[in-house]
Structure 1
Amino acid sequence: MKKIYFLIILFCIINISYSQWVKVSNGLPKQKVVALTTKGNKIFAAVGNSGVIVNNNNSGIFLSTNNGLNWYAANNGMQDTNNVSSLITCGINIIAGTSKGFYKTTNDGLSWYQSNNGLPSNSPINAMSVNGATIAACVSATKVYISTNEGSSWFYASSSLPDPIYCRSIAINGNSIFFGTEYTYQIAGRGIYKSTNNGISWFTVNNGISNNVNILSLAANGTNLFAGTRENGIYLSTNDGNNWKQVNNGLPSESGFSVLAINGTSVFTGTGGYSSLYYGIYKSTNNGANWFAVNNGIQFNSLKINSLAVNNTNIFAGTADNLYTTSNGGTNWFIASDGIPGCTRILTYSSIGTNTFIGSYYGYGVYVSSDYGINWNQINNGLPINFINGYILASSNAYLFSGIDGSGQNGYGVYKSSDNGANWIAANNNFPVNTYRTIIACNGSNIIANAHNWGVYISTNLGISWNAAPIYTTFNIPASCFTFLRNKVFAGTNSTSSTGYGIFSSTNNGTNWVTSSDGIPTNAHIRCLSVNGNNIFAGTGLYTAHNGHGIYKSTNSGLNWFAVNNGINSNAEISFIICNGLNIFAADLDRGIYLSTDNGENWTLKNEGLPAFYLLGALGVSGNYLFVNVDGQELYRRSISEITSTNPISSNVSYEYYLSQNFPNPFNPSTKIKFEIPETPLSPPFGKGGIVSLKIFDILGREVAILINDKLTPGSHEVDWNASEFASGVYFYSLIADGVIIDTKKLVLLK
């Protein structure tokens, strides 16, 4: 667009120094790595759903060219990046099996296209194997398809097989194709099948294999063929599948063996399948005669192995929550997932001194950081791990407490640590241990906890013993949050009962409760409570059918409440409120982080630097940093002083939007970007006081950073972009006003 520059006016260039949200997930679990393949010095990893909230931008296929030190997304052209099940290398091609058939790339992931000629539309791919130009695949779980031209076309190769049949694994060894079945959903056709004529005919090769065995994995090494099963360990055939024998010396008997990989004379297998017990990776150097565990460096929660791949002397293992590599045959493993999105759903934060703690979801436990999130370490000694949904944290004095969401399993409840989480002990005296959703809060020596299916309990001696403190004696009301105002405790509920909704308070440690909901809409879901001086704030909202979205405030100890939503969306789902001095932060599940500096009278979004997200998670404060969990995956932090700093704005303004070229350019790792915001623009967009965004995009047009997304006063502004966490390359930045792209310029990061 044509740019009309300012009249002869002296401008004051204001350095806004907008801070950005910075990802701080080093040491936290990553996404589930479901498939791996290699091509020369390139490693491809398929990253999929880990049971957490998944943003499709954070799943799919990732590429590394430096043995896993760094990864970047390589998904251009793929329709459903969250459902890649398998990967193979075939000549110069990489082929991906997905829920919608095959995708193929001839340029190492720069672009993908569907390659389904001869395949039924939208056919999910379960497994693949390759030998030269021949590819065999399990399709729609019940059919075998074969390609003899590197995936350009496919033909049906199941006409001689029983129907139905469930194909779980497949391998090619010379002229023979083998596939293993799983009998869970079938009556006939169990075991291993073999074809020597590209699938025209098949016959069973099960001599020595027990009946009703599920074949989870297959791998060939010269004349040796290995089969991993769910029930009976591993079988070996030395004569092209004609005879089999068990080779389980050293293997655990309780786990299935879902993956196999061969590196020279070494055979590796990973435990997985549908077993609830996982033991990691095992290795054999004598064709399976003996096996030994090789898990040094692999975390406890990563012992379910989804994929294995070999690249020269390097071996890669994709687990339920991370990617590991070894260069010494499995003696030591190291995390190799920088650039792969995380999968940590964080429930709560707490802090003691300079230590920051997070309670995670899905059994990952508790993590601690002594450098405000730069690095994290698991601290689960003494905590229950199996069958855990989450860990809720609170601290009091020098003690750290964890409420366990145990899905009704016995032996859980509240745990306590007096050494910054290094060791945990149960603190369940008179507390129901077969509970779940144990929410906890502290005030001096008083600890309050919600045992979801049992009601509220209070301890006045730092968790040594507990007393029941039911809100109602006639029926149980589960509390969703707590807070304290001096000697008064408040409980928010999510009940839809006409007598059980809203906020309750007690002045005698839960012996008696009274309703404190005057001004709160009927049936409002109280998601969070927070105190700032004499003010109490309540965050509400869950379903659109419920009343009371937004934030409510009480200035008289909960006697009355009134809405304080100026600047907040009318459908806001306020899940967390954090009070930090004069600053109040609120997390809206769908829209981001709000800030109020006037006790809730006005709110402003503060999302600069956050990626595009589907759902925000937990919000917390430690030191001078605000932390937020994005999409149940990555953890971000931002300096509170930077968020809340007041920036002077020039009173001399332009008549047009104007975006300057960044300086320096090229840069490493920081550069400055200047732009102008007019008071009354001479050309569209004509809006005054609208939202202005400054966004960074990679060379494929994907949004990688948001530097500004806020209402700005007219004038001259300058923002710094610190790209220390980004790879070298060409990027673009766009100035956007009221949804209209004003201008876009190129910048180059050279490291």
Structure 2
Amino acid sequence: MNKYFIFILVLFQTGFAQWEKLSNYNYGETGILFSVNDTILAGNENRIFISTNAGNNWIASNPISDEITFIPSAYKYGNLLFVGTYTHGVYYSKDNGVNWIHLQQGLSSTPAKSIGSFAVRENKIYVGTHGAGVFYQELNNLDTWKQFNNGLSWNSTYTINSLYNNNGTLIAGGGSSASLQLNRNDSDLWEQIDFVPFNPNGTSLLAAKKFNNKLIGAYSQGIVYSLDSGKTWSIYEGIFGNYERADIVEFNNKLIVMLSKAGFVNFYLSDYNAEKWELITQFNTNFCYDFEIANKRILAATLDGIYFYDLSTVPVEDDIIPNEINLEQNYPNPFNPATKIGYTIPKAEKTDAKTDQYNVTLIIYDILGNEITVLVNETKFPGNYEVEFNGRNFPSGIYFYQLTIDNKTLTRKMNLIK
């Protein structure tokens, strides 16, 4: 019995020892941590701390306000630094925290002044609140917040846990009833999407990020993905728990997802196509709010300051990157109305580099050679991909789909039968 106890204790101490406290950051509880280019910003009590050398040294802003004791959210847009507070609305600075301007006109209630998330779309900045939904205002005329809640249900979705701009469509993780909300750029209405099965412990989308052809989401019970910009979602199997905070950061053309609850936080690393996930470290801490990656280290914002984990100790599986371009036969075929098309982007010739990106298009043509829709038109990393084509708005007949990667082209035929 004692041998087993000693063995378990050694494992625990060894795993915990991989995390170390950042010795030159002695500012206690830290609620936010994010980066802009090579600059890291951390939020503690009523200041923002800025590092330009991967967290080795920090410069403190001037105090924002004596009323503020915690910073749950922040956002940097150009020279504007926005800070969200609990119960005191938004502050912003034009000079990296030398001077602060209070921006709360239009946020009349206490829930409206509790800011949990930010997003920018075109010339507007949006905030998600803890109990009053979403507000916005013009970036070129910062003055008064306007409510943006048309379509939101006040009793289930006014608490916004995350806000993300996905190519012009806002995604809000609101409430705890396993639904999220979409707002397209040409609409003032939120559309509710039930993205995962209901869980009695409460389920919300806590973070989202576009990665290659997928939209990745971290939610209360794990990780999900969408191939159609958030309309439908699938769950990655094998990840369990009931989490309170999450974040997603890109690292070396992969993703790292943080899933946190009181007592511990898990960090998962994806492969190059975000098709599988590996638990790379678990940190036993009172609570982890946020994280960032700098100089091959995970920096974790906790109740007790910032801790770091050396990613160079993580064994990285050498994903199999194909050598040749490939376009698969669509499946099913014939189809009605939807079918899936798989394709492969090869690694660069005479190199094992996985960081090279390629110009990729996948276009659908009718039997006369007329272009009817473009499924893919972007730069992508080497790997295996899949995209869906829905023919509900097209007549029955023979169609062709053509894949072009740089100067190489492949074409296949498919049959739509209604």
TM bucket by the smaller chain? Answer: 0.5 to 0.7
The aligned counterpart of 1:314 is 254
Amino acid at match of 1:145: Y
The ranges of structure 1 where at least 4 consecutive aligned residues each deviate by more than 6 angstroms after the TM superposition are: none
Q: 1:176 to 1:251 in 2, by over 3 A?
A: farther
Q: Does 1:332 align with 2:280?
A: no
Alignment check: 8 A CA contact 2:61 2:96 kept: no
CA positional deviation for 1:152: 4.6
Which residue of the partner structure matches residue 104 of structure 2?
158
Q: Deviations over 1:338-377 (max 9, x none)?
A: xx75459xxxxxxxxxxxxxxxxxxxxxxxxxxxxxxxxx
- Going from structure 1 to structure 2, the CA distance change for 1:252 and 1:151 (only over 3 Å counts) comes to farther
In structure 2, C-alpha distance between the alignment counterparts of 1:227 and 1:205, rounded to whole Å: 12
2:122 is aligned, of 156, 163, 174, to 174
- The answer to whether the 8 Å contact 1:256/1:271 transfers is yes
Q: Is the 8 A contact 2:162 2:173 kept in 1?
A: yes
Q: 1:288 aligns with which of 230, 234, 239?
A: 230
How far has the Cα of 1:23 moved from its partner?
5.2
* Residue of structure 2 in register with 1:594 after alignment: none
1:325 and 1:726 mapped to 2: Cα distance? 13
* d(CA) in 2 for partners of 1:280, 1:86: 21
Unpaired stretches in structure 1, ≥5 consecutive residues: 1-21, 31-57, 59-69, 184-189, 273-278, 345-724, 728-751
Displacement of 1:286 in angstroms is: 0.6
Q: What is the CA-CA distance between 1:311 and the residue it aligns to?
A: 3.2
**3-state SS, counterpart of residue 247 of structure 1:** strand
In structure 1, distance between residues paired with 2:129 and 2:88: 9
Give distance in 2, aligned partners of 1:195 and 1:167: 14
Cα distance 1:264–1:312, how it changes in 2: closer, same or farther (>3 A)?
farther
Write out aligned runs for 1:338-737 (5 A).
341-343=283-285
Question: 1:240 and 1:25, CA in 2 relative to 1: closer, same or farther beyond 3 A?
Answer: farther
Q: Tell me the TM-score normalised to structure 1 length.
A: 0.33
Letter in 2 for 1:25: F
Q: Aligned to 2:12, which of 22, 25, 45?
A: 25
Give the one of 197, 200, 203 matched to 2:143: 200
Q: Which residue of 1 aligns with 2:70?
A: 124
Are the counterparts in 2 of residues 131 and 173 from structure 1 also a CA contact under 8 Å? no
Which digits, 9 at most, give the CA deviation of each residue in 1:421-477, with x for residues without a partner?
A: xxxxxxxxxxxxxxxxxxxxxxxxxxxxxxxxxxxxxxxxxxxxxxxxxxxxxxxxx
Q: Say if 1:99 and 1:124, in contact at 8 Å, map to a contact too.
A: yes
Residue equivalent to 1:133: 79
1:25 match: secondary structure: helix
Counting matched residue pairs gives 269
Note if 1:263 corresponds to 2:211.
Answer: yes
Partner of residue 351, structure 2: none
Give CA deviations for 1:387-418 in whole Å, capped at 9, x if unaligned: xxxxxxxxxxxxxxxxxxxxxxxxxxxxxxxx
**Contact residue 46 and residue 66 of structure 2 kept, 8 A:** no
Could you tell me which amino acid in structure 1 is paired with residue 104 of structure 2? Answer: S
User: Please, which runs of 5 or more residues in structure 2 have no aligned partner?
Assistant: 1-8, 287-311, 315-418
Is the Cα–Cα contact under 8 Å of residues 150 and 189 in structure 2 kept in the other structure? yes
Change (3 A) 1:122 1:223: closer
Aligned to 2:107, the other structure's residue is in SS state: coil
**Identity rate, percent:** 21
Please name the residue that 1:246 is paired with.
192
State the partner residue of 2:90: 144
Distance 1:243 1:312, change over 3 A: farther
Matching residue of 2:43:
97
Separation in 1, partners of 2:253, 2:268: 14
Measure the CA separation in 1 of the matches of 2:80 and 2:19.
29
Partner of 1:716: none
Decide whether aligned partners of structure 1 residues 317 and 161 sit closer, same or farther in structure 2, where only a CA change above 3 A counts.
Answer: same
- Offset from partner CA, 1:153-206 (integer Å, 9 cap, x none): 4321112321323222222233211111222xxxxxx21100113641111111
d(CA) in 1 for partners of 2:285, 2:37: 33
* Equivalent residues of 1:305, 1:317 under 8 A apart: no
**Contact 1:90 1:150 (8 Å CA) reproduced:** no
C-alpha distance 73-290 of structure 1, shift in aligned 2 (>3 A): same
Partner of 1:355: none
Q: Which position in structure 1 is the counterpart of 2:154?
A: 211
Q: Aligned partners of 1:336, 1:25: CA distance in 2, in Å?
A: 15
Q: CA deviation at 1:96?
A: 0.7
Q: Which amino acid aligns with 2:137?
A: S
Q: 2: distance between equivalents of 1:128 and 1:97?
A: 8
Which amino acid is 1:207 matched to? N
Structure 2 counterpart SS, 1:200: coil
Decide whether the 8 Å contact of 1:75 with 1:109 is kept in 2: no
Shift in Å, 1:227: 0.3
- How far apart are 1:289 and its partner, in Å? 1.3
Match of 1:224 among 163, 169, 174: 169
SS at match of 1:195: strand
TM superposition shift of 1:215: 1.1
**Structure 1: distance between partners of 2:133 and 2:72:** 17
Q: Take 1:240 and 1:194, find their aligned partners in 2: how far apart are those partners?
A: 15
Instruction: After TM superposition, give the deviation of residue 228 of structure 1 in Å.
Output: 0.4
Q: Distance in 2 between matches of 1:305 and 1:219?
A: 15
Structure-2 change in CA distance of 1:284 and 1:331 (3 Å): same
Native 8 Å contact 1:315 1:329 kept in 2:
no
Please tell me whether residue 106 in structure 1 is matched to residue 46 in structure 2: no
Q: Residues 172, 132 of structure 1: CA spacing in aligned structure 2 closer, same or farther, 3 A cutoff?
A: same
User: Matched residues in 2 for 1:260 and 1:236: separation?
Assistant: 12
In 2, the alpha carbon distance for the partners of 1:294 and 1:107 equals: 35
Q: 2:192 & 2:222 partners in 1: Cα distance?
A: 20
SS at match of 2:181: strand
- Secondary structure (helix, strand or coil) at the match of 2:119 reads strand
Instruction: Assess, with a 3 A threshold, how the Cα gap between structure 1 residues 114 and 23 changes in structure 2: closer, same or farther.
Output: farther
Alpha-carbon spacing, 1:325–1:191, altered in 2? closer, same or farther (3 Å):
same
Residue 24 of structure 1 aligns to a residue whose secondary structure is helix
Q: What is the alpha-carbon distance in structure 1 between the residues aligned to residue 218 and residue 187 of structure 2? A: 22
CA displacement at 1:291 relative to structure 2? 0.1
